[in-house]
Amino acid sequence: MASPESSRERAIDLALGLAEELFGFGSSSSTPGWVRDRVRTHLEQQAAQSGLSLNEVAKRLLQDRRAVEEIVASLRVGETRFYRDKAQWEALERQLDHLFPTDVELAVLSAGCSTGEEAYTLGMLLTAARRRFRVLGVDRSAEAIRVAREATYPREAARDIPPAWVERFCDEHNGRLRVGMLVRNSVEFEECDLVQRVPAGPYHLILFKNVLLYLAAPAGEQVARRLANELEEGGLLLPAASEVLRLRNMGLTPFRMAPAVTALRPARRFIGPFRP
Ligand SMILES: C[S@@+](CC[C@H](N)C(=O)[O-])C[C@H]1O[C@@H](n2cnc3c(N)ncnc32)[C@H](O)[C@@H]1O
């Protein structure tokens, strides 16, 4: 007889398989631990409410598309934080004026922005660098976009932001951290499912980080290709470090920004600083 542990893992596999088949969510071979944890919690809650076993709850999903959609929706509100991947932000800050002349107004996209921390980090970086810019953050989760527009976070969210930026760009609102108007004025958010459409560019920078894991092949590759087509000449696509390999394999050319920081750009394009 199967151990409770292996039957729990099988129930999670079944739920993730359906999430992929019906909604193109992730690929089970590379599913990160937090995704499995969340699915397990969801199935356990359903089991507790219905009095069924975990396996029975998972099997019911075969006939219940809405229940699978609920799981996918809970997974798509993603984990994020301010100044995530410090080395990437530092490399961008160092190279910004070399990559893009200082008189150019930068157009930037945070594709899969979740609750806005990535878009606001960019806003803070570009304001600190005295650049003119517009940042657009898009996500398919309406709830994430609502939170992003509120721009108000738990105080602990300030933990990773450079202290000088917290001082200059954030204020306190009812005991919470709020991104100030100086940055908010140049950052907008929009609900958008990148599988359906990508926002029209051209963009100098596109952050496309930690979204691929939600998209099974070939949907993820198609989204990345469409995003790359929206890059300005000399523009860069910035993935998470773990995603560089998957994106290189689809023909994007790596551009080394720092020893452990690689950006990507379409192979056919001019490789060098942006020229207006
Ligand atoms: C883990 S978060 C990453 C947030 C941020 N980019 C970062 O790296 O911190 C992934 C986000 O991608 C969003 N997402 C997943 N599939 C998407 C799609 N098809 N279109 C738009 N956003 C999507 C999720 O809703 C989630 O908010």
Banded model confidence at residue 276, pLDDT cuts 50, 70, 90:
very low
For residue 112, give Cα distances in angstroms to 134, 217, 276.
16, 17, 28
Query: Phi, psi (5° rounding) for residue 205?
Result: -135, 135
Q: Ligand 1 pocket, 121 CB below 6 A?
A: no
Q: Ligand 1 pocket, 131 CB below 6 A?
A: no
Residue of 114, 118, 153, 192 to mutate, ligand 1, most atoms within 8 A of C-beta: 114
Q: Ligand 1 pocket, 84 CB below 6 A?
A: yes
pLDDT tops 80 at residue 135: yes
* Ligand 1 center–CA 192 separation, angstroms: 10
Write the residue with the smallest CA distance to atom 14 of ligand 1.
Answer: 112
| Domains present along the chain, CATH in parentheses | 4-76 (no CATH), 86-266 (3.40.50.150)
Atom of ligand 1 nearest to the CA of 25: 16
179 vs 44, more confident:
179
275 vs 2, more confident:
2
Per-residue pLDDT, 250: 75
Give Rg (Cα) of the chain.
20
Atom of ligand 1 nearest to the CA of 81: 9
* Ligand 1 center–CA 139 separation, angstroms: 6
pLDDT tops 70 at residue 87: yes
Min mean pLDDT across 34-48, 90-104, 145-159 is at 34-48
Per-residue pLDDT, 268: 60
Per-residue pLDDT, 33: 67
Per-residue pLDDT, 82: 92
User: Which of 60-69, 131-140, 239-248 reaches the highest mean pLDDT?
Assistant: 131-140
What pLDDT digit, counting tens, does each position of 201-215 carry?
A: 999 999 999 998 788
Looking at every residue in the chain, the average pLDDT score rounds to: 88
Per-residue pLDDT, 237: 96
Per-residue pLDDT, 274: 44
Q: Exposed, middle or buried: residue 101 (CB in 10 Å: 0-12, 13-18, 19+)? A: exposed
Q: Ligand 1 pocket, 195 CB below 6 A?
A: yes
Give every CB contact of residue 94 below 8 A, 6+ residues apart in sequence: 258
Q: 153 — alpha (psi -120 to 50), left (phi > 0) or beta?
A: beta
**Which is nearest to 239 in space by CA: 266, 261, 269?**
261
pLDDT > 90: percent of the chain: 53
Banded model confidence at residue 220, pLDDT cuts 50, 70, 90:
confident
CA triplet 128, 210, 233: central angle to 5 degrees?
A: 60
The pTM (predicted TM-score) of the whole model is 0.76
d(CA 206, CA 245) in angstroms, rounded, equals 17
247 vs 113, more confident:
113
Write the residue with the smallest CA distance to atom 26 of ligand 1.
Answer: 78
CA triplet 203, 104, 114: central angle to 5 degrees?
A: 35
Q: Ligand 1 pocket, 211 CB below 6 A?
A: yes
Give every CB contact of residue 11 below 8 A, 6+ residues apart in sequence: 43, 54, 55, 57, 58
Q: Ligand 1 pocket, 78 CB below 6 A?
A: yes
Banded model confidence at residue 2, pLDDT cuts 50, 70, 90:
low
Atom of ligand 1 nearest to the CA of 207: 6
pLDDT tops 90 at residue 217: no
Q: Ligand 1 pocket, 76 CB below 6 A?
A: yes
Contact between 147 and 138 under an 8 Å Cβ cutoff? The reply is no
Per-residue pLDDT, 77: 60
